[in-house]
Amino acid sequence: MTRFLITGGSGFIGSNFIRHILKNQREILVTNLDKLTYAGNRENTKEFESDARYEFVHGDICDAKQVGQLVPKVDVVVHFAAESHVDRSIDSAHDFVQTNVLGTNTLLEVAKRSKIKRFIHFSTDEVYGSRREGSFAEVDALNPSSPYSASKAGSDLLALAYWKTHKVPVTVIRSSNNFGPYQFPEKAIPLFITNLIDGKKIPLYGKGENVRDWIFVEDCTRATETILERGLPGEIYNVAGYSEMNNLELTKMILREFDRDERFIEYVADRPAHDFRYSIQAKKLAGLGFVVKSNMRERLRQTIQWYREHEEWWRPLKKDAYTVK
């Protein structure tokens, strides 16, 4: 049996990853360590609690004692836990530095002593910053703009330093924007969907010209599994969805699914230092045999249907969502 410690496993991507590996791999044991902050929801993983292969632990990656008890018992750490909402980081960066940098350091210190087999550090394309043309590769310099992306860039460099200095078997994953079921409703796509379900307008920054690349969360979890199986320690792998569009195009796509027109768009003041475009290429991941399977429009329809069918899940969370002011 391979023993996994998943940090942040009750969050959006973490819970989808646990769902994927429990379904597709039989010889595994999963411990989910989650602090259950506003974006960590135990309802996301409640279905697993009757599975003997799954264990939930309520705790904090910054707690060296607790981490020191858990990491030595496992073979693999998959580190999803992070503060991740840019607007929150602009208002207050403290929690982002605390969790994303110091929390990652706590895990790495214990991993250094524990001789684990793999340490997957999950990151973001935002660490590269913005570019008007072309796409970033893994060798490109980091140029983060927000306190959030700066804290993730710091944790990436720290993780890779533990590989170089201590041979902790770290692999870094930098993913483009995920969307899909169980995403906290302050993020763009679920915020837009749930607002429209309630007959409310969509808040859109500036003129909606900023460009993002989207990947369905199931593709991202498959990519993470591929990197676990075939990727190498000390390497960085970009995970791209190859579905670039500007925010206005995305908004119109969602509006069409609701049979609504542009009168449901509310243009709001732009975010400070708003990156114009994120774009990454994922040739290294393709070299491992991974192919993105999802069609953006089909997966968006599937996501909309999920939120329509799971109002009992997202309605209690809207009160904690940080939405555009």
Which residue numbers are catalytic?
A: 125-126, 148
- How many other CB atoms are found less than 10 A from the CB of residue 158? 17
Q: Which letter does DSSP use for residue 146 in this model?
A: S
If DSSP codes are grouped into helix, strand and coil, which group holds residue 233? Answer: coil
Please give the Cα distance from 77 to 122 (Å, whole number).
Answer: 11
Q: Where are the alpha helices (DSSP H) in the chain?
A: 12-24, 64-70, 86-91, 94-96, 104-114, 147-166, 188-197, 217-230, 247-257, 283-286, 296-309, 311-318
Q: Are 75 and 31 in contact (CB under 8 A)?
A: no
Beta-carbon count within 10 A of 139 CB: 7
Edge-to-edge strand list for the sheet holding 244-246 = 177-179, 211-216, 244-246
Residue in 38, 78, 43, 42 with CA at minimum distance from that of residue 61: 78
Rounded Cα distance, 290 and 295, in Å: 16
Joined tokens for residue 242: 């190859």
Give the integer Cα–Cα distance in Å for 212 and 247. Answer: 7
Are 44 and 21 in contact by the 8 Å Cβ rule? The answer is no
76: helix, strand or coil: strand
Looking at residue 115, its amino acid is K
- The CA distance from 281 to 263, in Å, is 35
What is the residue whose two structure tokens read 């230092």? 273
